Structure 1
Amino acid sequence: MGRFLADNFPPNSPAEDWVAAWSEINSRPGTDAPNHGMALWSGPQVVGAYPAIYSTRVINGRTERFCNLAVWCVAPGFRSGSIRMLNALLAQDGYHFTDLSPTPAVQQLNLRLGFRYLDPRSQLTVNLPWPTPPRRVQVSSDPDEIARVLTGEPLRYYQDHVRCRWARHAVIVTDDTACYVQWRFERRKNLRWFAAIQYASDPGLFRAGLRQLSRHLAFRHRALFTVVDDHVAGGAITPSVAISGPPRRMFKSATLGPDDIDYLYSEITAAP
């Protein structure tokens, strides 16, 4: 599948990058991934790929299994077989499904299959050298510091994603609380100056410490802007401007609601 995606899916990432994206996240300790997704074959040749990322999470005190539907790519001339890969993934019992970067056409298909949308609102803020009170809120990207201050599930999330080469990590820390933040650089209008926030373990602390995080991203990582979905931040951030036409995120579950879904263990944290 890695070679097929390298040859057919933008932005023309090397095959080894695609292989690493799935193996690094699906092969982490404790993972019970049944596969790396589905492939469509024509004789000995792969003509379609639908990679998947699996995770087991504790939601509201219950152990839940997730399957993230990642990039869906089929060679011209074989598109009639596309749905077979999707049906095979959705036929797996006991999983909640996420599709976090569906195209408009896939969104319409997903709606017919019972998927629902997450909150589509997204905000952008300029990373400025905000004056901050000393020692009230601290931000760090140091791996040793992150591992020291995190506990419980946020620590496990960090450890599970630390080998994902496109994911970046930080913590916002107060005297007795730490918020794990996962982000990655995102290109907009061919400019690689945007820090896209993918996860915040404590949305309230994330919003309270946004100025310190913004300052950190500007000075330490040369990110001029921060982009975050309201779904990740737990509400609107200030100061900010709304982004028009943000990506639509979707999920399918018989028992979980939108507040139970996040972007971890997905193609937007693991893929090129």
Structure 2
Amino acid sequence: MNTTNLKKLPVTFHRHVDIDGVKVAWREAGPADGPVMLLLHGFPTSSHMFRNLIPALADRYHVIAPDYPGYGESGTPDRPTFDYTFENFGNLVRKLLAHLEVERYAMYVMDYGAPVGWQLFLKNPEKLTALVIQNGNAYEEGLKGFWDPIKKYWADGSNESRDAIRNLVSLETTIFQYTDGVDDKERISPDNWIHDQALLDRPGNEDIQMDVMYDYRKNVPLYPEVQRLLREHQPPSLLVWGERDVIFPADGAHPYKRDLKDLEFHLIPTGHFVLEDRGDEVIPMIRDFLDRKLA
């Protein structure tokens, strides 16, 4: 068989480096001189959530998808030696980008990826070239009933409130995150919750997750400054939001219209993990957006 004229598929590399004593892992693909697309994952997953998006972009774009400490293939340093905070996650991603000599980048922010991305944006807003928002919050309107027991934990920090939300790292909840709001659950690969739950169930990881959920309270006071910088810098933006998500409901999507003038706004009829259910629809939208705004 003559393969001379066949198009080669992009290769995704799985890399890691030690940063400040922490193993930071990331997936990387695409031309080294291409526009950078930084993919920031949510809870309870890792860069695994981007396994289908990466090759769809990597023929033209330099794609970087890190795992935060305690997630994916990154290290899980002991809690007494490392504070599991969004500020620290942001600092490590920033140092990873410096290690890779990345000066400017577009961002895909989802769930926990939003506050990690905002940490980068708050310190260096001029580096952001474009923004893809997928169920990633920057407005208090987006913190509805699902967050009430978490807000109670934020308010009192008690062991009782902490224990009351431990169900959020159970297999039942992980499956719920992938399947709630989905019309046809056979579209969702069980590999998702098998992969995520195996990592959640690592010794000590449950308390890491409780620490991260407690630290999330510090993101809310940052929202006004994030909004101000969005208004000031006006990054071209694409919003592809699962409108049936009960964790980050569409109430948190609409306020972006107030601050972003160059916003392409799409509510997708699915739940929390849009790429798993509607990737066939959304991935071409992301590619088209980047081709028009970056390439």
Q: RCO greater where, 1 or 2, for CA within 8 Å and sep 6 or more? A: 1
Does TM, scored on the shorter chain, surpass 0.5? no
State the TM-score, normalizing by the size of structure 2.
0.29
State the TM-score, normalizing by the size of structure 1.
0.31
